[in-house]
Amino acid sequence: MKRKIILASHGELSKGLADTARMIIGNVAAEIQCYCLKPGQTADSFAKELTAEIMAEPEQEFVILSDLYGASVCSALSALLVYPNVRLFTGMNINMLLVICLEYPEKLSDEDIQKIVLDARSGIKALSASDLAVDAEDF
């Protein structure tokens, strides 16, 4: 099954995330498409465009990452979950995107999805100076 990864955000966040992924992993991230909601636009219009694409390509998996749970972009795109070839993540971050691109090149299972969410969360840390202390024995 072919796959398309769609990054959807308020403003230019999705473009920045895609640029970062391409910088880190190169052409592996070629399957990424970005949607940036701008003032005056509605997320529903993008969801309608995407619906036509999803219906036209039922053999392709659409992995959608959105920026903010419960916000307009995620809410509009959640209507696409009626299609069996759509997977939707929210709270996207670079860990999530890199894990999907590098470790899951095939169709995502429900188990894969749970692992991806755990991996994405694992990259979120609050650091303090003591976390940065280097023990001389480490060298």
Stretch (H or E) spanning 15: helix 13-25
The ranges assigned to domains in the chain are 3-124
Q: Which CATH code for domain 3-124?
A: 3.40.50.510
pTM value > 0.85: yes
Instruction: Answer yes or no: is pLDDT of 136 > 60.
Output: no
Long-range (24+ apart) CB contacts under 8 A made by 36-40 are: 36/9, 36/10, 36/11, 36/12, 37/8, 37/9, 37/10, 37/11, 37/72, 37/73, 38/11
User: If pLDDT is split at 50, 70 and 90, which confidence band does 118 have?
Assistant: very high
Between CA 127 and CA 15 the distance in angstroms is 27
Average pLDDT over residues 97-120: 94
Instruction: Answer yes or no: is pLDDT of 134 > 80.
Output: no
Q: Which pair of structure tokens corresponds to residue 40?
A: 């005056």
Q: Quick one: pLDDT at residue 81?
A: 98
Q: Quick one: pLDDT at residue 28?
A: 72
Q: Quick one: pLDDT at residue 131?
A: 82
